[in-house]
Amino acid sequence: VFLTQFEANLDATYEAIKLARDSGARVLLNPAPVKEFDHSILKYVDVIMPNEIEASLMTGIPLDGMDSIEAIASELKKSVDTVLITLGGKGVYCPSVNAGLVPACRVKTIDTTGAGDAFAGVFAAYLSRGEGLERSIDYARAGAAISTTRFGTSPSMPEREEIEALVNEMIGGDKK
């Protein structure tokens, strides 16, 4: 699994995406910060994980409730097999899972800084461990939730044990 985003030089990012795909890696893209980019690179991406604002800006579809999120996801699915649109405290929308809208884990939030990074990193980690899409989303939403219970970005990143405990407690540990 190769996870990247748009913080670095875009040409270098495009080359890294192509190299990862050519080497057989599953390519995950968190298109943050949102900026103009060559959409043809999406043919090398397996999973795209924008937040709702990034997704709206990427597609030009204005945000207006769940109908617009579904339309945005449908537009992104024309280029990428798996679309995950993070919705902050509302959860994540993924048309590839039965529920579509997967709710956020409820925690006492004090700082949302880094929650998207936690989601992306935890999702990639569990996908690379062989977990399926839905289960990896469960771990990712738990990791993002835990990160919001602490201040900062790096200091808020959860440990694996914390993530798995929250999944077992709130989601159900025997789900596959």
- Asked whether 52 and 85 are in contact (CB, 8 A), the reply is yes
Show the CA angle centred on residue 99, arms to residues 97 and 100, nearest 5°. Answer: 65
Q: Is 65 left (phi over 0), alpha (psi -120 to 50) or beta?
A: left
Catalytic, out of 64, 117, 138, 174: 117
Q: How many CA atoms lie within 13 A of 147 on its CB side?
A: 28
- The CA distance from 156 to 163, in Å, is 12
Neighbouring-strand partners of residue 5:
30
- The CA distance from 5 to 171, in Å, is 28
Whether 117 is a known active-site residue: answer: yes
- Asked whether 142 and 105 are in contact (CB, 8 A), the reply is yes
| Token code pair at residue 7 | 């913080």
- The CA distance from 122 to 143, in Å, is 6
Residue positions annotated with a catalytic role? 117
